[in-house]
A = this chain, B = another copy of it.
Amino acid sequence: MTARMTDLTHRKTLPRLDESLLTYLTPFSKLEKREIRSILDQATSRRYDEGVSIFDEGAPAERFFMLLDGYVRVVRVTPTGEQVTALHIPAGQLLGIAKAIGRETYPATAVTATESIVLSWPTRLWDGFVADYDGFATETYKTVGDRMGEIHNRVMEMATQQVEQRVANALLRLINQTGRKVSDGIEIDFPITRQDLSELTATTLHTASRLLSAWEKQGLVQSKRKRIKVLDPHALVVISQPKSDL
């Protein structure tokens, strides 16, 4: 649970900050380059190892963050210590924006799924950004809405679908959001254990493991330790569909 500091000008780790890619950062897509620069100039950059927390549920929301590179899991922990993953955040998005929804503390814990580069600003700058840059708030709230929709979808899934369908859906979502095309399929771009997958689908790692084994035998997926590659996405789509009566 440690994280190392990198210095702010460590260009090598910030390849995406190329001019032409600034608008790739979700909250900035409506802003002018000059404005974006001004916001970025006030940021602190930091590198996190895989599997460390960026902020913790319940802690005072002293900063807000933007994921420049990597992937982050948003998780919550039950009183009994079980973890539940709410969603995955891809590079280019804000996180920890408690202020945007009127909270003083972070509503969940953010854990890096890969080594990640994260910008952050003190929360006190938030109101200024919203006031000064028109599109900033709009884009941010779109993000909030999208996440709400995703969580909402999770509720639907968990309420109506079987475990097999949920796991198939989770894999499809992961390859859509974070898939990397390789020779014979699409690979999930970060290390993911059976346990992670089970926390994403509200099942046990045993069941997740069994499903992956079965699918591997059928040639739908290939998986090594912490790596999953989907060979036949369409077959997964079929599985993910609620089975209609024949």
Given contacts A80-B244, A101-B146, A107-B152, 13 further A-B contacts (CB under 8 A): A76-B156, A82-B159, A84-B160, A86-B155, A101-B142, A103-B145, A107-B148, A108-B152, A141-B144, A144-B144, A144-B148, A147-B148, A158-B158
Report whether A160 and B86 are in contact in the complex, using a CB–CB cutoff of 8 Å: no
- Compute how far the CA of A73 lies from the CA of B152 in the bound complex, rounded to whole angstroms: 14
Taking a contact as CB atoms closer than 8 A, the residue among B84, B141, B142, B242 that contacts A156 in the complex is: B84
Q: Closest 4 interchain pairs by CB?
A: A101-B145, A102-B142, A159-B202, A84-B159
Question: Residue A231 at the B interface, CB < 8 A?
Answer: no
Taking a contact as CB atoms closer than 8 A, the residue among B102, B139, B145, B155 that contacts A155 in the complex is: B155
- Map CB proximity to B onto A65-100 as digits: 1 under 8 Å, 0 otherwise: 000000000001011101010100000000000001
The A interface is mostly helix, strand or loop, or mixed, namely helix
Question: Residue A154 at the B interface, CB < 8 A?
Answer: yes
Contacts of A162 in B (CB 8 A): none
Contacts of A154 in B (CB 8 A): 155
- Compute how far the CA of A160 lies from the CA of B146 in the bound complex, rounded to whole angstroms: 24
Question: Residue A14 at the B interface, CB < 8 A?
Answer: no
- Map CB proximity to B onto A141-178 as digits: 1 under 8 Å, 0 otherwise: 11011111101101110111000000000000000000
Return 10 A-B CB contacts under 8 Å, by A number.
A101-B146, A102-B139, A102-B145, A103-B145, A107-B148, A141-B144, A151-B152, A155-B158, A158-B158, A158-B202
Question: Residue A223 at the B interface, CB < 8 A?
Answer: no
Report whether B101 and A152 are in contact in the complex, using a CB–CB cutoff of 8 Å: no
Taking a contact as CB atoms closer than 8 A, the residue among B86, B101, B242 that contacts A80 in the complex is: B242
Question: Residue A6 at the B interface, CB < 8 A?
Answer: no
- Compute how far the CA of A144 lies from the CA of B137 in the bound complex, rounded to whole angstroms: 14
Contacts of A79 in B (CB 8 A): 242
Contacts of A146 in B (CB 8 A): 101
Question: Residue A138 at the B interface, CB < 8 A?
Answer: yes
- A223 CB, nearest partner CB in chain B, Å: 23
Report whether B158 and A159 are in contact in the complex, using a CB–CB cutoff of 8 Å: yes
